[in-house]
Amino acid sequence: MKTINKSIFKGRDFISLHDFSQDELSCILDVARELKEEQKAGRPHPVLQGKTLGMIFTKSSTRTRVSFEVGMYQLGGHALFLSGRDIQLGRGETIADTARVLSRMVDGIMIRTFSHQEVLDLAEFSSIPIINGLTDLLHPCQVLADLMTIQEHKGRLAGLKLAYIGDGNNMAHSLMYGGAKMGLHVVIASPPGYKPDPVVVAMAQADAKANGGSVEVVDDPLEAVKGADVLYTDVWASMGQEAEAKVRMAAFEGYQINSDVLKRADRSAIVLHCLPAHRGEEITDEVIEGVQSVVFDEAENRLHAQKAIMAVVM
């Protein structure tokens, strides 16, 4: 493995893509590509030999758990799964106390939870790097893998148009932050009442202006996808929103990525989805299984992108 100067990241938290510069994100993406090449070539890359990652899950996952656990193993370290039922957080211990204790036992913490404030509090009281595996506000690890996938299939990031169709949720927020930092033109199409957080939009627009991109929020999904290089969607009702499913189904009618919508994008457009997908709702089988879908390349890249995050901060 080539020597890449990671000293600028050592000990830093990975909580939001907004916290990193374009050069820093480009560096992490370079590390991800290199680690992927090492794995594909069958060359060991134990850059975290002897290190341990504590993984706190109060929100379950397939891709997040598997990618971090397998990734830590491939980097020569060990991942320790800690569910909300297994640690004292679930019995009333404070975030601050948990952070102080774990900081003396492990080398980094990945947390996947509902409240973004929990991640911020964990970072405040920890003396080791904190990685945001997902909150209701942001999903930076997923979007780093998305950027990696777009770069692989399009050869670049700057200047591309990314159209996201659906809920203005944590995915929309992190796509705006990541796209803005890397000079993409990001258009979010969400129905009234489900728009992204205006504070996040404003911050992403400022980042985009500084990096040659743009961020826009519209109502009309057909307007959003016109000429787009990348189409993206997510489920209409995320984990914890099951009680709203029927109301959301009605609100998001017309916000589906299907073959007719895909035809309005650029002819060489690629389709992304963070998974799990509710096929027949936000995306059709025809599209997700079609030749323009790179959804499973994207899912694989969760492994490589998260290995890069761990490698640089730990």
pLDDT, average across residues 18-28: 97
Q: Which of 93-97, 102-106, 185-189 has the lowest mean pLDDT?
A: 93-97
What mean pLDDT, rounded, does the chain reach?
95
pLDDT band at 1 (very low <50, low <70, confident <90, very high): low
Specify which residues 163 forms β-bridges with: 187, 231
pLDDT at 240 over 80: no
Specify which residues 134 forms β-bridges with: 112
d(CA 115, CA 137): 8
**104 in a known ligand binding site:** no
pLDDT at 16 over 80: yes
Q: What is the pLDDT of residue 90?
A: 54
**264 in a known ligand binding site:** no
Q: What is the pLDDT of residue 5?
A: 62
Residues 85/142/296/2 CA torsion (nearest 10 deg): -110
Q: What is the pLDDT of residue 10?
A: 84
- The contacts of residue 240 (CB under 8 Å, 6+ apart) are 59, 114, 136
Q: Express each pLDDT in 143-199 by its tens digit.
A: 999 999 999 999 999 999 999 999 999 999 999 999 999 999 999 999 999 999 999
Q: What is the pLDDT of residue 140?
A: 98
Residue 312: C-alpha distances to residues 134, 200, 256, 290, 307 (Å):
19, 26, 37, 35, 9
**67 in a known ligand binding site:** no
CATH number 3.30.70.260 given to 6-138+302-313: no
pLDDT band at 37 (very low <50, low <70, confident <90, very high): very high
pLDDT at 3 over 60: no
Q: Which residue has the tokens 């993206």?
A: 232
SS (H, E, C) the chain: CCCCCCCCCCCCCECCHHHCCHHHHHHHHHHHHHHHHHHHCCCCCCCCCCCEEEEEECCCCCHHHHHHHHHHHHCCCEEEEEECCCCHHHHCCCHHHHHHHHHCCCCEEEEECCCHHHHHHHHHHCCCCEEEEECCCCCHHHHHHHHHHHHHHHCCCCCCEEEEECCCCHHHHHHHHHHHHCCCEEEEECCCCCCCCHHHHHHHHHHHHHHCCEEEEECCHHHHHCCCCEEEECCCCCCCCHHHHHHHHHHCCCCCECHHHHHCCCCCCEEEECCCCCECCCECHHHHCCCCECHHHHHHHHHHHHHHHHHHHC
Q: What is the pLDDT of residue 72?
A: 98
**63 in a known ligand binding site:** yes
Q: What positions carry a catalytic annotation?
A: 112, 139, 142, 234, 274, 302
More confident residue, 3 or 109: 109
Contacts of the segment 110-116: beta carbons below 8 A, 24+ positions apart: 110/53, 110/54, 110/55, 110/56, 110/64, 110/68, 111/55, 111/56, 111/57, 111/58, 112/55, 112/56, 112/57, 112/58, 112/59, 112/61, 112/64, 113/56, 113/57, 113/58, 113/59, 114/58, 114/59, 114/240
pLDDT, average across residues 203-214: 98
Question: Percent of the chain having pLDDT more than 70?
Answer: 97
Cis peptide before 192 (omega within 30 of 0): no
Ordered by start, the domain boundaries in the chain are: 6-138+302-313, 141-299
pTM of the model: 0.96
Q: What is the pLDDT of residue 79?
A: 98
**274 in a known ligand binding site:** yes
Q: What is the pLDDT of residue 87?
A: 80
pLDDT, average across residues 105-124: 96
pLDDT at 267 over 90: yes
Q: What is the pLDDT of residue 45?
A: 97
Residue 217: CA count within 13 A, CB half-sphere: 23
Q: Do the domains 6-138+302-313 and 141-299 sit in the same CATH topology, yes or no?
A: yes
Specify which residues 82 forms β-bridges with: 56
Specify which residues 188 forms β-bridges with: 164, 217
Q: What is the pLDDT of residue 237?
A: 82
Q: Express each pLDDT in 247-259 by its tens digit.
A: 999 999 999 999 9
Q: Which CATH class is domain 141-299?
A: alpha beta
Q: Express each pLDDT in 53-94 by its tens digit.
A: 999 999 989 999 999 999 999 999 999 999 877 787 756 889
pLDDT band at 6 (very low <50, low <70, confident <90, very high): low
Q: Which of 27-31, 57-61, 212-216, 217-221 has the lowest mean pLDDT?
A: 57-61
